[in-house]
Amino acid sequence: MQWKLRSLLVAASVAGFVGSAAAFPRVVTDLAAFRSGPGLGFLPILAIPPQAVVDVTDCFRGWCRATYNGKDGFIASSLLARRVAEPAD
């Protein structure tokens, strides 16, 4: 069973980005270039400041597809962190 699951995950990763259709919020940890494609060879669209929140739809090989201020682009996954939930009163 584990072998079948691994094979399926490898096949999915070779086919392209792996992720769900739903976006999940992530916090930018440092000044980040928001790029037109997944890699340093793609032009930056804009700079995203630290502590900004982006909506990530999927990640693959160190890059995440995201939306920020109504624009779609890519950001290095190493510059993203999970949002910390605020304590309930």
Average pLDDT, the chain: 82
Residues spanned by the domain of 36:
20-82
Give a yes or no: residue 1 inside a domain: no
- For residue 48, the number of C-alpha atoms closer than 13 Å in the C-beta half-sphere is 29
DSSP secondary structure code for residue 61 in this structure: T
Q: For the stretch 1-38, what's the b/e string if a residue is b when 16 or more beta carbons lie within 10 angstroms of its beta carbon?
A: eeeeeeeeeeeeeeeebebeeeeeebebeeebbbbeeb
Q: What is the pLDDT of residues 43-84, one digit of tens each?
A: 999 999 999 999 999 999 999 999 999 999 999 999 999 987
CATH value at residue 72: 2.30.30.40
